[in-house]
Structure 1
Amino acid sequence: MAPTKAPDSSRRSDRSRRAIHDAALALVTEVGYRRTTIEGIAARAGVGKQTIYRWWPSKAAVLMDAFLDLAGRAAEDAGSGSGSGGTGESAPGIPDTGDLAADLKLVLRATVDELNDPALEAPTRALTAEGIVDAKLGAEFVHKLLDPQLALYVTRLRAAQEAGDVRADVDPRIALELLIGPLMHRWLLRTLPLTHAYADEIVDYAVGGLAPRA
């Protein structure tokens, strides 16, 4: 008689974590951050509250982890050619073809696609909005998600400086805000459509101001 195979507890834990992540993202999309609760996440995921508290100390921690997992999956899909790569994370960083404007347009267009993706838009808006009033959550959002992505822009802009395509006196950290800031402003206010054409114009205006002066 063949021996009975023991249950794979790690696989069961992975399934539970994914169910909790999916439940948290679904709820924050449907009812918003403030009305999302640990009890609601547990019920939606089909687990007990104690399971959630064993892995996360708070609702904010659950949602942050869920969003980071979602962003990671999106980056993996982009790397395999099945996604947009909208976070700007094209391994090992932003492309460097020697054409700064073309490289930045490629990344900003992908960011537009990501911000317009319904699966990402609602949780991104919820965490962004809550991060404004919850300083701790906002700082964590910036530290864990935004800073690693923004660092890729800094690296690419510094390479452009070394190549003589960007003035030596330009601060790359401020320069990247010329690219990201207008995009996020239009996305947050929803005043006008967020399009590839708009992303291209941002790059043209920004790069024109970064170029060496005659």
Structure 2
Amino acid sequence: MSIDIAYPAFCAPGLPVALGTARRLMEFGRYEDSKVDVFTELCSVAEVRRMARELPQGRFSGQWDDKEFDGVPLKHWPPLVAGVLGPDLPTAPAAYEGRLPVEYELGDLPVDSIEDAFAAAIGPNMGWINWKWLYWPDVPERNLHGESTHAEVTLLFNTRTRNDGRRQCGPSMGGLQADVLHMDLTSVFPRLNGPPDLLQYSSEDSNHLSPW
């Protein structure tokens, strides 16, 4: 069994450069079955409701303790704990007590179907866009075979890693203004002559896009 290892690759201070760079890297490994997932943690009821207005098709799930519903059938769980779509979110403020941050997610979507709308909607919240089911091509001259097991590209928002375990609300959640590209460098860059050959970013972009 193998374990995925992804590394922060680039850091950009704004969405246009970050999203454009992520897409160039993704296109390097994209094929017909590639998909995209999006995820964010919403730290206030106001942000939950705003996201529900802007992207109501996602699933919202509140926090809960492992022992909170021991022996309770799923059908009797509070809707926000079981997970609901935007139009079904509870309206009573009491339903959100102890449930923040609320997780929002959409998965297994076609590439280019959600990325722009999600990037515009995420605001100060921690989250990511993850392109998966990619395929890094063969490079015979470097003795590299095609690889898909770890072929993913992730664009992070307001966090340094997908697995930082913070799960808290407060100033730190929105403190990072950089957008970070996260990926398995050991699979991708040996297939290139270095990142610039693939990215082909403009001179203006290169002033802002920096290696991590």
Which TM class, normalised by the smaller chain length? under 0.3
Larger helix fraction of residues: 1
Which structure carries more strand by proportion?
2
**Which is higher, the Rg of structure 1 or of structure 2?**
1
